């Protein structure tokens, strides 16, 4: 079975993942776009209406636009690539995927159907809500006393350090703990769906934690 893989970026709805945080995978039976927290989409050939070249800006704003009929996915799906969009489409054709796009609709793979019904976002809905709530509470712990003139110095201190530490710990647990991933990820999702983004967050939050900790307690 011929396969085609490509690293790039992606726009799903209004959310955008820049290079190299998106992966395109195509074989005869499936087309997948893994854009980490921006979205993990999977299509069978009969889900596709068309795949067209898309150019917003030369070189840095080009890709393929996927028109589909999956109700639970955002309609605006673009995979960004540095390669010629026509070349990417030709590679997809060579897998045999597009040849099946006009076949009569048959019973779809139930695992794919379940994933499509969950929508494109890999995280369980409660997790972003809880994390954002905790993040804002910790930031307010620093900001409110500063603006109420109950604390001297800058607006950030213990709260931002705890928030960044929490972000670092969350990214670390996502990478190393299967139990933690089971808690926060939707059914059928795994480490590969969020690995790149989690590693990026681990690095950035670690650097920022060290910087803010030094400033807050120096």
The DSSP line for 165-198 is HHHHHHHHHHHH-HHHHHHHBPTT--GGGTHHHH
Q: Is 80 helix (H, G, I), strand (E, B) or coil?
A: strand
* 120: pLDDT strictly greater than 60: yes
Q: What is the pLDDT of residue 37?
A: 87
Element (H, E) at 143: helix 126-147
* 183: pLDDT strictly greater than 80: yes
Q: What is the pLDDT of residue 118?
A: 87
Q: Please, what's the b/e burial string for 158-185 (b: 16 or more CB within 10 A of its CB; e: otherwise)?
A: ebbbbbbbbbbebbbebbeeeeebeebb
Return the percentage of the chain with pLDDT > 70, whole number: 87
Return phi, psi of residue 128, to 5°: -60, -35
Q: Give the pLDDT confidence of 24-69 residue by residue, as tens digits.
A: 999 999 999 999 889 999 999 999 999 999 987 665 679 999 999 9
Rounded Cα gap, residues 85 and 217, in angstroms:
51
* 12: pLDDT strictly greater than 80: yes
Q: Give the pLDDT confidence of 80-112 residue by residue, as tens digits.
A: 998 999 999 999 999 999 888 776 655 567 788
pLDDT category of residue 206 using cuts at 50, 70 and 90: very high
Q: What is the pLDDT of residue 88?
A: 95
Q: What is the pLDDT of residue 150?
A: 57
């Amino acid at each position: 079975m011929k396969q085609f893989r490509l690293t790039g970026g992606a726009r799903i709805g209004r959310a955008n993942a820049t290079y190299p945080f998106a992966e395109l995978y195509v074989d005869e039976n499936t087309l997948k776009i893994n854009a980490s927290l921006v979205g993990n989409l999977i299509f069978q050939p009969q889900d596709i209406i068309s795949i067209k070249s898309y150019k917003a800006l030369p070189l840095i704003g080009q890709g393929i636009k996927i028109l589909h009929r999956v109700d639970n996915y955002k309609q605006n799906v673009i995979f960004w690539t540095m390669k010629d969009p026509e070349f990417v489409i030709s590679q997809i054709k060579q897998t045999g995927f597009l040849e099946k796009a006009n076949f009569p609709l048959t019973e779809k793979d139930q695992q794919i159907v379940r994933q499509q019904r969950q929508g494109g976002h890999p995280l369980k809905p409660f997790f972003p809500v809880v994390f954002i709530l905790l993040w804002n509470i910790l930031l307010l712990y620093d900001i409110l006393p500063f603006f109420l003139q109950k604390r001297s110095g800058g607006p950030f201190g213990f709260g931002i350090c705890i928030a960044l530490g929490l972000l670092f710990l969350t990214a670390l647990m996502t990478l190393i703990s299967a139990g933690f991933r089971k808690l926060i990820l939707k059914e059928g999702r795994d480490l590969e769906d969020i690995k790149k983004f989690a590693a990026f967050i681990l690095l950035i939050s670690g650097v920022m934690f060290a910087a803010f900790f030094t400033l807050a307690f120096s």
